[in-house]
């Protein structure tokens, strides 16, 4: 059961990362890259 909870967390992080990359690629394609506040 604990392993499943850990797996769910990992999957959630992966989905969040995919969403962020998707936003970056869409911005690059449209030519309007706007910096967003973040650690990088």
Cα(24)–Cα(34) distance, integer angstroms: 9
The domain ranges of the chain are 1-27
Q: What is the tens place of the pLDDT at every residue in 1-40? A: 788 999 999 999 999 999 999 998 888 888 766 666 666 5
pLDDT at 40: 59
pLDDT at 36: 66
Give CA torsion, residues 19, 39, 36, 16, to 10 deg: 10
Cα(14)–Cα(25) distance, integer angstroms: 16
Check: pTM over 0.75? Answer yes or no.
no
pLDDT at 14: 96
């Amino acid at each position: 059961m604990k392993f499943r909870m850990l797996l769910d967390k990992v999957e959630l992080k992966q989905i969040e990362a995919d969403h962020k990359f998707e936003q970056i690629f869409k911005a690059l394609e449209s030519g309007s890259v706007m910096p967003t506040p973040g650690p990088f």
